[in-house]
A and B are shown apart, each in its own frame.
Chain A
Amino acid sequence: MNVAPVNTVAPTEMRSPTAQMSIRNVAKVFPGKKDLFSKVTGKARRDFVAIQDINLEIEPNTFVSIIGPSGCGKSTLLNMIAGLSPISSGEILLNGAPITGPGADRGMVFQNYALMPWMTVEENLRFAVKTVDPKSSQKKRDRIIKEHIQLVGLTGAERKHPHELSGGMRQRVGIARALAINPQILLMDEPFGALDALTRGFLQEEVERIWEQQRKTVIMITHSIEEALLLSDRIVMMTRGPAARIDEILEVPFPRPRDRETIQQHPAYHALKAEMESHLFRETRAVEAARAGG
Chain B
Amino acid sequence: MAASHSTPGMVQIEQSEPLWQNENVRAFALFMLTLGLFLLFWEVGAKSGWFTPGVPTASETIREFWWWVTNPFYRNGPNDLGIGWNLLVSLRRVAIGYTLASVVAVPLGILIGISPVAFKAFNPFVQLLKPVSPLAWLPLGLYILRDSEQTGIFIIFISSIWPTLINTTFGVANVNQDYLDVSKTLGASRLRTIVKVIIPAALPNIVSGLRISMGIAWLVIVAAEMLLGTGLGYFIWNEWNNLSIPNILVAIFIIGLVGLLLDSLFAALEKLVAFGRNS
Contact = CB atoms under 8 A, between A and B. Distances in A.
Contacts of A93: none
A127 interface: yes
Contacts of A118: 200-201, 203, 273, 275
A108 interface: yes
A250 B184 CA distance: 32
A112 B276 contact: no
A107 B182 CA distance: 9
A117 B273 CA distance: 10
B277 interface: yes
A216 to B, nearest CB: 15
Interface in A72-88: 82-84
B69 interface: no
Interface stretch (B21-29, B52-60, B157-165, B185-193): B185-193
A163 B185 contact: no
Given A110-B178, A116-B179, A104 B187 contact: yes
Contact of A102 (B176, B179, B184, B196): B184
A103 interface: yes
Nearest to B274: A117
B197 interface: yes
B14 interface: no
Contacts of A212: none
Interface bin, chain A: 20 to 34
B181 interface: yes
Nearest to A118: B200
B185 A108 contact: yes
B107 to A, nearest CB: 20
Given A116-B182, A116-B197, A131 B187 contact: yes
Interface in B180-229: 181-188, 192, 196-197, 200-201, 203
B188 A131 contact: yes
B185 A164 contact: no
Q: Which has the most chain B C-beta neighbours within 10 Å: A112, A118, A162, A163?
A: A118
Interface of A: 82-84, 102-104, 106-108, 110, 112, 114, 116-119, 127-128, 131-132, 161-164, 181
Interface of B: 176, 178-179, 181-188, 192, 196-197, 200-201, 203, 273, 275-277, 279
11 contacts: A102-B184, A104-B186, A116-B201, A117-B275, A117-B276, A118-B275, A127-B196, A131-B186, A131-B188, A131-B196, A181-B186
